[in-house]
């Protein structure tokens, strides 16, 4: 059976968020994963990822596009091997697969109905610190379009290790994936949920892997 057929009927349970930000913060931390790409004995790359309802683990390509041994760690400390299913270096998006999934999918929302100054949250495993993920809150500063791809600019603090983590609206829906931050941390860019969905679908169809 092909990898594609094996995962065809996977549909994860999705959380239905309310308006309680403390609850949202808890669910965010519990349902993102730490990703480690062990390049050699002394070198690894750390990032963050989250699952879509179809059972795909989404992250940034720059975390996994150097060949190594990929593993994930859940919030409770459990670990699992993972493999690269498809990726795009140009869009910095990668899809991973794991043998079993121990968290719920995070629901995708629409970034198109969000406006500048709307509040957003980001989550990730910064600097490979042990323990729970970090959550930061900020606002949408602007929306940027480049080659038919939409990016959300925010004033969020997104540090090393948070790449590939989700960008949430104030109701807990994923409206983007964190992809870029300036060297002095003055602003961050997140690929919008609409663009992410388009890229994921294309990658699933192609199953192309780039190094």
Give me the active site residues, please. Answer: 62, 92, 163
Return d(Cα 120, Cα 139) in angstroms, integer: 5
The helix (H) or strand (E) run that includes residue 80 is strand 79-88
CA distances from 177 to 59, 68, 99 (A): 8, 23, 23
CA 142, 45, 109, 195 dihedral sign is: positive
Using an 8 Å Cβ cutoff, are 27 and 64 in contact? no
Using an 8 Å Cβ cutoff, are 162 and 122 in contact? yes
User: What are 165's two structure tokens?
Assistant: 């983590």
Return d(Cα 40, Cα 46) in angstroms, integer: 13
Other C-beta atoms closer than 10 Å to the C-beta of 19 total 9
Return d(Cα 161, Cα 128) in angstroms, integer: 6
């Amino acid at each position: 059976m092909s990898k594609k057929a094996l995962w065809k009927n996977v549909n994860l349970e999705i959380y239905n968020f309310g308006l309680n930000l403390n609850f949202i913060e808890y669910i965010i931390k519990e349902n993102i994963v730490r990703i480690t790409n062990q390049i050699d004995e002394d070198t690894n790359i750390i990032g963050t990822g989250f699952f879509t309802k179809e059972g795909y683990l989404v992250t940034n390509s720059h975390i996994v596009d150097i060949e190594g041994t990929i593993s994930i760690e859940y919030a409770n400390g459990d670990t699992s091997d993972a493999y690269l299913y498809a990726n795009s270096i140009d869009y910095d998006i990668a899809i991973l697969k794991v043998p079993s999934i121990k968290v719920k999918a995070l629901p995708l929302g629409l970034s198109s109905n969000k406006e500048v100054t709307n509040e957003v949250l980001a989550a990730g495993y910064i600097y490979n610190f042990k323990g729970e993920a970090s959550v930061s809150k900020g606002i949408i500063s602007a929306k940027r379009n480049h080659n038919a791809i939409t990016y959300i600019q925010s004033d969020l603090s997104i540090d090393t290790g948070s790449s590939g983590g989700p960008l949430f609206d104030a109701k807990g829906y994923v409206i983007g994936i964190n992809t870029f931050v300036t060297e002095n941390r003055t602003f961050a860019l997140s690929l919008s949920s609409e663009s992410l969905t388009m890229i994921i679908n294309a990658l699933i169809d192609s199953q192309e892997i780039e190094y």
